[in-house]
Amino acid sequence: MKDLNNKVVVITGAGSGIGRSLATTCAQRGARLALCDVDMSGLEQTRSKCANAAVLTASVDVSDRAAVEAFRDEVIAEYGQVDLVVNNAGVAHSQTIEDATYEDFEWIMGINFWGVVHGTKAFLPALKKNRGSALVNVSSVFGLISLPTQGTYNATKFAVRGFTEALRHETADSGLHVMCVHPGGIKTGIAHSARFYVGPDGSDDQEKAAGDFVNKLARTTPDQAARKILDDLAKGKGRCLIGIDAQIISAISRLMPVNYWRVMNRLMPG
């Protein structure tokens, strides 16, 4: 999809980070927007940055299938079509698999994986009506490799990758382009809504943990990520790697599919 002028673009998790940058960039390129998030304050800030664009906003918990389907109905009623859907909403969680609770698994799977499933299945029929339409699902570099304490997050992002790649094969002849996005470290606020475990010293300063997490991994700005996604979409790519760190991680995972952690452990910032 090279031309966004007058196209209807749906973006979940549009209240901040990559979602906000995608919204503002698409608005600059003439798109009509349908944006959702659970953070209405952030979503209104995104709307304010999309001057002169048609913008529909809604409070939607993507883990709630009925809420996503109601949002789909609202989008169709408002615009009559859908051309691009970006399932971007996501959360983070850091804990060992042994100590992660079942509720932690259900929470992160509900948003990161089921949110993608709900967004995909809700909008797929409308997308397939328009040849040249596109569906973009956001995974992570943690959908390429697994790290200690990231098991719950890895599970969701590997699932998004497998789900999206299967869909790409299934729709190859339909005129719908499907792309999976694997961002490396992005300077977003995802860590501030994340769940972090209590450290061995008894500390549970989540704000500090969130800041440390972002500072260690962040290499790319949301605006750079948004441009990369749209550029790769225009080129018809099936996989989008964002950032030099994502490219390095992808290469290491292919060269050392079992023992990559030996290298990654040394490369991780201290």
1 located within any domain = no
Classify burial at 36, counting beta carbons within 10 Å of its beta carbon; exposed 0-12, middle 13-18, buried 19 or more: buried
2 located within any domain = no
pTM exceeds 0.85: yes
The phi, psi pair for 8, rounded to 5°, reads -95, 120
pLDDT value at 177 more than 60: yes
179 located within any domain = yes
17 located within any domain = yes
Task: Output the pLDDT for position 248.
Answer: 84
Tally of structural domains, the chain? 1
Q: For residues 145 and 143, what is the distance between their CA atoms, to the nearest angstrom?
A: 6
CATH number of the domain bearing residue 95: 3.40.50.720
Catalytic residue (choose from 79, 102, 153, 260): 153
3 located within any domain = no
What number is the average pLDDT over the span 118-140? 96
Q: For residues 229 and 223, what is the distance between their CA atoms, to the nearest angstrom?
A: 10
58 located within any domain = yes
- pLDDT tens by residue, 178-225: 999 999 876 554 444 445 554 444 444 443 443 444 445 556 899 999
* Structural domain that includes position 19: 8-267
pLDDT value at 173 more than 50: yes
> Known catalytic residue: 153?
yes
131 located within any domain = yes
Tell me if 75 sits within 8 A of 10, measured CB to CB.
yes
68 located within any domain = yes
